[in-house]
Amino acid sequence: MRKYVIMGIQGSGKGTQAKMLAADLDLVHISVGDIFRWNVQNHTKLGAQVRRVMAAGELVGDDLVESVVRDRLTQHDWNFGFIIDGFPRDPRQAEFFLESYDIDGVIELDLPDSEVRRRVLNRRLCGDCGLDYNLIHHRPAVADVCDVCGGSLVARPDDNPEAIKSRLADYHAKTEPTLELFRKKGLIVRADGTKPADEVYQQIRKGLGLA
C-alpha cells in the first residue's frame, strides 16, 4: 500500500504525473480540483458552494475541503494506495491529513512563475471527456476539437490572468510553508517541472526509490 501526495504550482504537470504514477502502480488518483469541477459541471449543492471561489482562483475553505477529502478517502477503493493531487494546500490541511494518514512520500514539482503563466494560459480541456491539451506541446489535430471524442475544447474558467495571479500568491504564501512542513519530516521528493513529462516522471520514480 502506497500513499503519495503530489504538490506543485498551477501548470506544473501535477495531474499528468499523478495519472502516470497511478497507472503504473495501480493507485487511485484523487484530484480535489477535479472533484470540485465535476460538482460545478453537474450543478450539485457542493458545486454551487465552490463555483465562484474557484473561478476567482481563490482557495475553497479548509472545512469544506477537508470534508470532501475525508469522504473520498473513506470510500476505501484504494487497495494498492492512492496519490492525492491538489491537497493539502495550506499547513492546516497538512496537519489534518498527517493526523489520519501515514504518507510515504510527497512529490514537489518545481516551476518558475513566468512559465506558469505561459502554460496555464495555453491550457485547454475537452468539455465532454475531460482530456487535457495545451496549445504549446499537445495541440489537437483540428483546432478546438478533442482528438478522442470530438468534444469542444474549453479553457478552465480559472485559467485567466487575474485568477492566475491570485493562485500564484496563495501558492507562495500558503502552499510553500506546507511543503516546508513535509520537508522537515523528510518526505519530499523534488522534480524539475520544466522538463518533458517522461523525464519528470523518471525523476519522480527515482526519488521515490521505484526506478
Point out the residues that are catalytic: 14, 89, 123, 156, 167
Site residues for ligand AMP, 75-104, by CB under 6 A, read 86-89, 93
Among 2, 3, 25, 33, binds ligand AMP (CB under 6 A): 33
Instruction: For residues 123 and 127, give the distance between their C-alpha atoms in angstroms, rounded to a whole number.
Output: 13
57: contact with ligand AMP by CB under 6 A = yes
Determine the residue with CB nearest ligand AMP.
Answer: 33
The size of the interface with ligand AMP (CB under 6 A), counted in residues, is 18
| Binding segment (CB under 6 A) for ligand AMP, from list 1-9, 58-66, 100-108, 184-192 | 58-66
Site residues for ligand AMP, 126-165, by CB under 6 A, read 158
Among 18, 20, 32, 120, binds ligand AMP (CB under 6 A): 32
178: contact with ligand AMP by CB under 6 A = no
Among 9, 65, 83, 188, binds ligand AMP (CB under 6 A): 65
Nearest to 200 by CA among 109, 94, 100, 96: 109
Nearest to 17 by CA among 159, 171, 187, 205: 205
Among 22, 30, 59, 106, binds ligand AMP (CB under 6 A): 59
54: contact with ligand AMP by CB under 6 A = yes
Residues that bind ligand AMP (CB under 6 A): 10, 32-33, 36, 53-54, 57-60, 65, 86-89, 93, 158, 167
